[in-house]
Amino acid sequence: MHLVIDGIARDPEQLADAEAVRVALIECARRIGMEPAAEPLVVQLRASHRALPGVTGVLLLKESHITVHTAPEESWMAIDVFSCHDFDGGSVLRFFADHFAFTRSDVLEVATPQRAKDRCYAETAP
């Protein structure tokens, strides 16, 4: 399943908080029963000619990944959760909507093709 969420948050300062993003990545994975393959990578980004300042975070999962990008100046964040295993997209939306106090969100949910599910496996190096 692939879930993409665009959210508008009530508190733009929370979107600038790298620790809030780190906690959200870990908690999201826990809530949907996915196992991190490594610690989350969370980076505070400065404005550039191509992007607004904000926070970008990624959590690699044994099942795939969760990414978060924020733009506090716009009160906006984008969330991407992908796994070849099924998970509860509504639970992910509710978690992020509560954690970042969304005032609005748009969601796109795409089912994982059976071929990908059939070939899906998670293996980590020792």
- Among this protein's residues, is 99 annotated catalytic? no
Q: Say which of 28, 75, 83, 84 is annotated catalytic.
A: 84
Q: Say which of 28, 69, 75, 83 is annotated catalytic.
A: 69
Q: Say which of 64, 83, 91, 99 is annotated catalytic.
A: 64
- Among this protein's residues, is 120 annotated catalytic? no
- Among this protein's residues, is 69 annotated catalytic? yes
Q: DSSP for 14-67?
A: HHT-HHHHHHHHHHHHHHTT--BSS--EEEEE---SS--SEEEEEEEBSSEEEE
> Catalytic positions, please?
64, 69, 84
